[in-house]
Structure 1
Amino acid sequence: MTKIGYARVSTTDQDLTGQVEALKATGCEVVREEKASGTTREGRSELATVIDFLRPGDVLMVTRIDRLARSIDDLRAIVREVADKGAAVKATEQPFDTGDIYGELTMNLLGVFADFETKLRRERQMEGIERAKAKGVYKGRPPKIDTDKVRELRDEGMGATAIAKEMGIGRASVYRVLDEG
């Protein structure tokens, strides 16, 4: 049986050290680290690598269930994928093991709470944005595209594809800027 650790934080300024140390302390021979949102599986290549690597009898270790997924649907899909490989999921800080029915129940309850917490956070965020808009202080995210540079390159004779490549942006963004004026 091999224990494989998976550590995840949502943003690049967060630290994975505590998770990695906890996973290694439980005997994880390998710990994969990732800085990506847990609300979706998109862009989580380290998680995909860990799941691909699992063999029958292996254990995918996390510190808490919300490190694995913030959506109950994603959590169930991940656990099902792990189980299909003959492996189990365990957490260092939460007493469950998907190898038995009680662990499955616990995991589902923890997953529901993680999902609920994500939805509450999103709801509070949207309420804050609405209040800020009402006060006239919410301006949204600052533009990342230098619209003057896009127009300048167009005026120099460059096409949308060349401009997009030059500036490292999508072609649709170039067209949007050019259509605006």
Structure 2
Amino acid sequence: MAKYGYARVSTSDQDLSIQMDALRAAGCGIIRMEKQSGTSTEKRAELATLLDFLRPGDELFVTRVDRLARSVGDLQMIVSILREKQVSLKATEQPVDTSSAAGKAFLDMLGVFAEFETNLRKERQLEGIAKAKAKGVYQGRKATIDASRVFDLRKNGKGASAIAHELGIGRASVYRILNKTNSA
């Protein structure tokens, strides 16, 4: 039986040291860490590696459940994988231990709250954007495609696919630029 740790922060400027210290204190010999959003399990290579590597009887430690997943669906999927592998999940800062019924129930509740928190954050962000747009201060992301270059290539007889290929963009982006001018 081995103890493994998983540490995650959402952005590259955040620090993993507090999580790492807590996981080492819990006795984790190997700790996988990554700086990646927790709203999805996609692009989380370290988590995937760890889930593949775990063996029956192992224990997976996190500091908090939201380090593992931010949606109920992802959390349930991960817990299902762990259950199939006969691996228990424990959290150093929360009373989570999937080897007990109470720990399993608490885990499910924490998953619901993690997803709720993510949804609230998204709502606040959308409200802020709507207010900024109403004030005229939100313009959205700056254009990364030179529209004049698209039009020049079009005038030279190139089709959307050729333009997209030459500029290294998607065809849909070419059509969007061309249609924006046609509808204006």
What TM bracket, shorter-length normalisation?
0.7 to 0.9
Deviation at residue 142 of structure 1 after TM alignment:
2.0
Corresponding residue for 1:56?
56
Q: Which moved more, 1:152-161 or 1:103-112?
A: 152-161
Between 1:23-32 and 1:55-64, the stretch displaced more is 23-32
State the distance in 1 between where 2:27 and 2:163 align: 51
Q: Secondary structure at the match of 1:123?
A: helix
Change (3 A) 1:151 1:66: same
The equivalent of 1:21 in structure 2 is 21
Superposition TM-score, scaled by structure 1 size: 0.86
Amino acid aligned to 1:50: L
Which amino acid counterpart does residue 107 of structure 2 have in structure 1?
M
Partner residue, 2:72: 72
Residue 151 and residue 114 in structure 1: after superposition, are their counterparts in 2 closer, same or farther (change >3 A)?
same
Segments of structure 1 that go 5 or more residues without pairing to the other structure are none
CA distance in 2, matches of 1:172, 1:164: 9
| Larger displacement relative to structure 2 (92-101 or 168-177) | 168-177
* Worse overlay, 17-26 or 92-101: 17-26
Q: Which structure has the larger Rg?
A: 2
Q: Are 1:131 and 2:131 counterparts?
A: yes
**How many angstroms does 1:117 deviate by?**
0.9
Distance in structure 2 (CA, Å) of the matches to 1:31 and 1:171: 43
Residue segments in structure 2 that go unaligned for 5+ positions in a row = none
SS at structure 2 position matched to 1:141: coil
Cα-to-partner distance string for 1:126-151 (whole Å, 9 max, x where unaligned): 11111111111111122233434555
Taking only the aligned residue pairs, the percentage that are identical comes to 60
Q: CA deviation at 1:80?
A: 0.8
Give the match's secondary structure for 2:39: coil
Q: Which amino acid aligns with 1:48?
A: A
Q: How far 1:170 sits from its partner (Å)? A: 3.6
Instruction: Map residues 80-159 of structure 1 onto 2, 5 A cutoff.
Output: 80-150=80-150
Q: Separation in 2 of the partners of 1:7 and 1:171?
A: 39
Aligned residue identity for 2:145: I
CA distance 1:160–1:120, shift in 2 (3 Å): same
Change (3 A) 1:161 1:30: farther
How much does 1:56 deviate? Answer: 0.2
Indicate the SS of the match to 2:80.
helix
Cα deviation code 1:67-105 (max 9, x no counterpart): 011111111111111111110111111121011111001
Query: What's the Cα RMSD here?
Result: 2.2
CA distance in 1, matches of 2:156, 2:16: 47
Whole-Å separation in 1 of the counterparts to 2:70 and 2:103: 18
Distance of aligned partners of 1:128 and 1:56 in 2 relative to their CA distance in 1, 3 Å threshold: same
